[in-house]
Amino acid sequence: MLDTAARTAFDDDHAMFRESVRKMFERELIPNLDRYEEEGIVDRAFWKACGEAGMLCPTVDEKYGGLGLDFAYNAVIDEELAYAGSSAGITLQSDIVADYIENYGSEEQKLKYLPGMVSGDVITAIAMTEPGTGSDLQGVRTTAKRDGNHYVINGSKTYITNGQNADLVIVVAKTDPTLGAKGISLILVDADTAGFKRGRNLDKVGMHSADTSELFFEDVRVPITQCLGEEGKGFVYLMSQLPQERLSISISAHAAAQRAFDEAVKFTKERMAFGQPVFEFQNTKFSLADMKGQLQVGWAHLDWAIKRHVAGELTTAEASAAKQWHTDMQGRICDMALQLHGGAGYMNEYLVARLWRDARVTRIFGGTNEIMKEVVSRSL
């Protein structure tokens, strides 16, 4: 269990919410973790359970079915989910997609989608990455061309979280390929629209329970009223949402690292070698002490970042630096935690193996850590 006694980003209401999240996960998530990993997808029953527990999109305004809470409540969910060792895509829906629709959507779009997103009846994805385009969103090739009062969308996307489950996809497309970034728009596509097809559920190194897909758009026709916000403002919207997205990744990365550390402490105290617990060797104690120090510093930084973000003050450069540091740290901690398990750490029956596998992609998604350094350098 995460020790939150010394945390500064949360109050008593957040603590009560955390307890309800833990109880719900103990009941609905933990018993099914291995099954979700094996099946490569989290079933819709879990999404519905999260919705009923008020754990989907808690920041959404009450008039759209949400709780109207601050982002610190999202952070609580992010931490507990990652600490449990789950890669369920509910954080994408709550921390990223919900804000796009609430901040930029029309009243009609908000009423159409947000209540279902809060209840778990509508699962969402955001389709940015393409086979030939990763962190460089200006290079997307998917097009949404006007045809009367409709857009006709053609293109393909890949590595899309929630791709198999999604009922709604925010598609990053070029409505005017001649304008570069100024020609990018966000288009809402319902999964039952003709011409929309899901590819395979991709076979990943880690995060096996997060369905991640290829998506195809072949002459997909949607009304122009499905444009999210203003046409041509898509790139601006994407950049505006980066602080929260990258903070969310940082939070999950750190909580997962904490779990890996806790697993290593438990294992080394129980495992005997040369007549004593592995924990008693100086190398073990020094390694754990170093890990503990990194985690302590990281939690303090996260509390600072969460409070700044809730106050509307966290910058893109600060969030990018956080994403780079916390995910790099996650990689170090998970690797050392596995090492301290010895051969057992390489066995999938131990949670540390899953944490180690899942950690690798956090330095890639949400913008690679190399891009994070580039973003930070521009602020110097």
Whether 352 and 260 share a structural domain: yes
The tally of domains found in the chain comes to 3
**DSSP 8-state code for residue 87:** -
Instruction: List pLDDT tens digits, range 317-340.
Output: 999 999 999 999 999 999 999 999
Q: Does residue 4 belong to any structural domain of this protein?
A: no
Choose the final residue of a domain: 122, 157, 178: 122
The residues facing 216 across adjacent strands are: 156, 197
Quick one: pLDDT at residue 134? 65
Q: Does residue 41 belong to any structural domain of this protein?
A: yes
Whether 201 and 281 share a structural domain: no
Q: Tell me how far apart the alpha carbons of residues 329 and 321 are, in angstroms, rounded to a whole number.
A: 12
Q: What φ, ψ does residue 10 adopt, rounded to 5°?
A: -125, 155
Instruction: List pLDDT tens digits, range 64-107.
Output: 999 999 999 999 999 999 999 999 999 999 999 999 999 999 99
Q: Tell me how far apart the alpha carbons of residues 120 and 359 are, in angstroms, rounded to a whole number.
A: 27
Between strands 150-161 and 212-223, the pairing is: antiparallel
Q: Average pLDDT of 105-128?
A: 98
Quick one: pLDDT at residue 137? 74
Instruction: List pLDDT tens digits, range 274-302.
Output: 999 999 999 999 999 999 999 999 999 99
| Residue closest to 171 by CA, chosen among 159, 183, 151, 157 | 157
Choose the final residue of a domain: 57, 92, 122: 122
Distances, alpha carbon 366 to alpha carbons 77, 291, 360, 361, in Å: 19, 25, 13, 10
Helices (H), the chain: 12-28, 33-39, 44-52, 71-83, 90-92, 98-104, 107-119, 234-240, 242-270, 282-310, 316-340, 351-359, 369-378
Q: Tell me how far apart the alpha carbons of residues 110 and 98 are, in angstroms, rounded to a whole number.
A: 9
Whether 249 and 367 share a structural domain: yes
Instruction: List pLDDT tens digits, range 202-211.
Output: 999 999 999 9
| Residue closest to 250 by CA, chosen among 335, 359, 324, 337 | 324
Q: Average pLDDT of 14-30?
A: 98
CATH number of the domain that residue 366 is part of: 1.20.140.10
Q: Average pLDDT of 172-197?
A: 96
CATH number of the domain that residue 215 is part of: 2.40.110.10
Answer yes or no: are the C-beta atoms of 273 and 280 closer than 8 Å: no
Q: Does residue 304 belong to any structural domain of this protein?
A: yes
Whether 160 and 77 share a structural domain: no
Q: With cut-offs at 50, 70 and 90, classify the pLDDT of residue 135.
A: low
Answer yes or no: are the C-beta atoms of 90 and 52 closer than 8 Å: no
Strand, helix or coil for residue 365: coil
Between strands 150-161 and 168-174, the pairing is: unpaired
Helix (H) or strand (E) holding 160: strand 150-161
Q: Tell me how far apart the alpha carbons of residues 255 and 74 are, in angstroms, rounded to a whole number.
A: 13
List the catalytic residues: 245
Strand, helix or coil for residue 199: strand
Largest Cα–Cα separation, the chain: 79
Tokens representing 10? 């949360």
Provide the residue range defining the domain that includes 184: 125-231
Tokens representing 77? 């969910």
Whether 18 and 63 share a structural domain: yes
Tokens representing 121? 């009846």
Whether 97 and 170 share a structural domain: no
Instruction: List pLDDT tens digits, range 220-233.
Output: 999 999 999 999 99
Choose the final residue of a domain: 71, 104, 122: 122
CATH number of the domain that residue 116 is part of: 1.10.540.10
